[in-house]
Amino acid sequence: MVKNTRRTQRGEASLSRERIVEAAIALLDEHGESGLTFRALSEELATGAGAIYWHVANKGELLSAACDAMVARAMDAAVTAAPPRETVRILGLGLFDAIDAHPWVGAELARSPMKMPMVRILEAIGRQMRTFGVAEQELWLAASSLLNFILGVAGQNAANSEYARAQGLVRASFFDAVSSAWSALDEDAFPFVRSMIVPMREHDDRADFLAGIDLILDGIAAR
Amino acid sequence: MVKNTRRTQRGEASLSRERIVEAAIALLDEHGESGLTFRALSEELATGAGAIYWHVANKGELLSAACDAMVARAMDAAVTAAPPRETVRILGLGLFDAIDAHPWVGAELARSPMKMPMVRILEAIGRQMRTFGVAEQELWLAASSLLNFILGVAGQNAANSEYARAQGLVRASFFDAVSSAWSALDEDAFPFVRSMIVPMREHDDRADFLAGIDLILDGIAAR
DNA sequence: ACCTGAACACCGTTCAAGT
DNA sequence: ACCTGAACACCGTTCAAGT
């Protein structure tokens, strides 16, 4: 490991997959999804684009790795000895908060096929379903339903945040904008949505997310 | 309406938002999300990029309009006089099949904030929840939970299809690939996921989707 | 009012060349 | 083995100019 002694001594770690992913996370957090470009990354890391490609296959892999790092962190933080129902809530909330703080994680999760970041979530949820007492032949359904719900919420939250960012709005005024859009809908064509304007405005994403998980757990328990 | 008589007589309708959206849908269906570019669209429509921009604000609006057209079609096709539980299943399946046939719809849906395509789905589901007998103060939760689950499934299905397309795989061999990836996971770190290899391979997306909806409806009914 | 198409300011990715 | 940075082949979007 003599190769980069000089750089290390100067306080600049040599280029590595880890450092690249770290820098990518910083860019994504600061400027949103559109903030991650190989040019910005090169500048941040003081190298050329080609150097990054030596450590990472392409942008997709980079995004996926960044997402995975965040999800792994959230899953690890949610390790408890609580009963399964409570643990699933903690897991879910951990993910919810991570996505709330880093919307791009939700967007990437909603895109990623059955690869690593999702496998982690499936593992964490599935274990709880098993201790929850779900029958063996229903485990896949229980775990994947919960997962799909969580991914749906994740995607929506991320979309809302990105949209709000693009419009330069804060969270509260985003829902103001939605509510005025819904007010303009035709009463005959959209009676239900119009009747939801007030509930939508008063709703609490976090609380609804938890309640949704409970709904599904109730449905599972009812079998 | 004299302006484009000549063009119309020649059998080429003049440029319009509708024709543009139509062409966009054709490109998306044929070549996936990456197939929709303003250049390809210009060629297809035999015009310049600027002409398209006169009718459509930007690419996002175009994608959203294309998605909305597909969702509207699916929702209209699912109008029945069946009891609410059955109707929700029909609505869901209609959407599921539309996304299965046009994966880009699922991807766009997972991205779109609380705008038009989603408002349609919310309206259709919400009406059924009301006739289902859900209490007024629980309507938002019931409808939005169902919606989030559906969007989650939509996003995953779309991601799987896009991934399979990119790899040049058919559906069956996609799950083969996932199962061999899962087989390579560490047994100690991922016992649950490894135990799901067989169930995952044998599962039926459509059936699981329906079962998931039932799970949530059961949870709602249990209140 | 509607369309043309060249031009602009970006992208991700590659690759010969260096150390 | 690792890095440089110019070059390539694309993008979405704009805009002066046409009809």
Question: Is the distance from CB of B199 to CB of A139 less than 8 angstroms?
Answer: yes
pLDDT at A212 over 80: yes
User: How many Cβ atoms sit within 10 Å of the Cβ of residue B220?
Assistant: 22
User: Count of H helices and E strands in chain A?
Assistant: 13, 0
Of the listed ranges A30-44, A151-165, B190-204, the one predicted with least confidence: A151-165
Extended beta strands in chain A, E state: none
Q: Which residue is nearest to nucleotide D16 (CA to C1')?
A: B50
Mean pLDDT, residues A141-169: 93
Which sign, positive or negative, has the C-alpha torsion A114, A116, A119, A125?
Answer: negative
Q: What is the CA B76 to C1' D11 distance in angstroms?
A: 36
Residue appearing with tokens 């604000």: B57
Nearest nt to the B55 alpha carbon by C1': C2
Mean pLDDT, residues B167-186: 92
Residues from chain A contacting residue B112 (CB–CB below 8 Å): 159
Provide the pLDDT for residue A80: 87
Write the pLDDT tens digit of every residue in A36-46. 999 999 999 99
pLDDT at A14 over 70: yes
Question: Is the distance from CB of A140 to CB of B196 less than 8 angstroms?
Answer: yes
- Nearest-angstrom CA–CA distance, B107 and B98: 12
CA-to-CA separations, B199 to A88, A138, A141, A218, in angstroms, rounded: 22, 9, 9, 23
Which chain C positions have some atom within 7 A of a protein CB? 2-7, 10-16
Q: What is the CA A25 to C1' C15 distance in angstroms?
A: 28
User: Is A199 within 7 A of strand C by CB distance?
Assistant: no
Write the pLDDT tens digit of every residue in B67-112. 999 999 999 988 889 999 999 999 999 999 999 999 999 999 988 8
User: Is B39 within 7 A of strand D by CB distance?
Assistant: yes
Write the pLDDT tens digit of every residue in A108-137. 998 888 999 999 999 999 999 999 999 999
More confident residue, B179 or A78: B179
Nearest CA in chain B to A111: B159
Provide the whole-model pTM: 0.92
pLDDT at B113 over 90: no
- Nearest-angstrom CA–CA distance, B127 and A191: 8
- Nearest-angstrom CA–CA distance, B4 and B115: 33
Those residues whose C-beta lies under 8 Å from the C-beta of residue B90, and which sit 6 or more positions away, are: B78, B80, B82
Residue B22, burial from CB neighbour count under 10 angstroms (0-12, 13-18, 19+): middle
User: How much of chain B exceeds pLDDT 90, in percent?
Assistant: 84
Collapse the DSSP code of B14 into the 3-class scheme (helix H, G, I; strand E, B; otherwise coil) and give the result: coil
One-letter amino acid at B100 equals D
User: Is A56 within 7 A of strand D by CB distance?
Assistant: no
Mean pLDDT of chain A: 92
User: Is B83 within 7 A of strand D by CB distance?
Assistant: no
For residue B6, give the H/E element and its range. helix B5-9
Residues from chain A contacting residue B150 (CB–CB below 8 Å): 152
CA-to-CA separations, B117 to A45, B113, B123, B165, in angstroms, rounded: 41, 9, 10, 25
Provide the pLDDT for residue A6: 35
Smallest Cβ–Cβ distance between A219 and the set B144, B151, B219 belongs to B219
- Residue environment code for B139-160, b if the CB has 16+ CB neighbours within 10 A, otherwise e: bbbbbbbbbbbbbbbbbbbbbb
Write the pLDDT tens digit of every residue in B19-68. 999 999 999 999 999 999 999 999 999 999 999 999 999 999 999 999 99
- Nearest-angstrom CA–CA distance, B124 and B118: 10
Nearest to A222 by CA among B190, B194, B218: B218
Provide the pLDDT for residue B13: 65
B196 alpha-carbon distance from chain centroid: 26
User: Is A36 within 7 A of strand C by CB distance?
Assistant: yes
